[in-house]
Amino acid sequence: MTKAELLAEQYPDTELLQADGFDEAILGVVFDSMCAVPRLAYSRCKCLEILMKRDGMTEDEAVEFFDFNVVGAYMGEKTPVWVDDTYSC
């Protein structure tokens, strides 16, 4: 069972939007006072690692792609949260 599936079971009444291809980077669910709904939280570091390994990108390519195409993709109030944990990379 994937992390997203496990979290969906824990929050059956909540639609958790996922970022395609980054399931291994899921950290958990965020409850934010600024946003009315819980959202999935992802590790930025792990997402970059996935892009480099899976897609053969350099680090600079992965950062540019991630920042523009993933972080920049707003999907409404349920948009996932990106945790900047680059200190752990």
Instruction: Indicate whether 17 belongs to any domain.
Output: no
Range of the domain at 30: 3-8+24-88
Q: What SS3 state is found at 81? A: strand
If one counts the domains in the chain, the total is 1
Segments in 26-72 forming alpha helices (H):
44-55, 59-65
Q: What is the pLDDT of residues 49-82, one digit of tens each?
A: 999 999 999 999 999 999 999 999 998 889 999 9
Instruction: Indicate whether 36 belongs to any domain.
Output: yes
CB of 10 closer than 8 Å to CB of 32? no
Model confidence at 21: pLDDT above 90? yes
pLDDT at position 50: 98
What residues does 81 pair with on adjacent strands?
41
Instruction: Indicate whether 71 belongs to any domain.
Output: yes
Alpha-carbon gap, residue 19 to 82, rounded angstroms: 10
Report the predicted TM-score, pTM, of the whole model to 2 decimal places.
0.89
Question: Within 13 Å and on the Cβ side, how many CA atoms surround 33?
Answer: 0
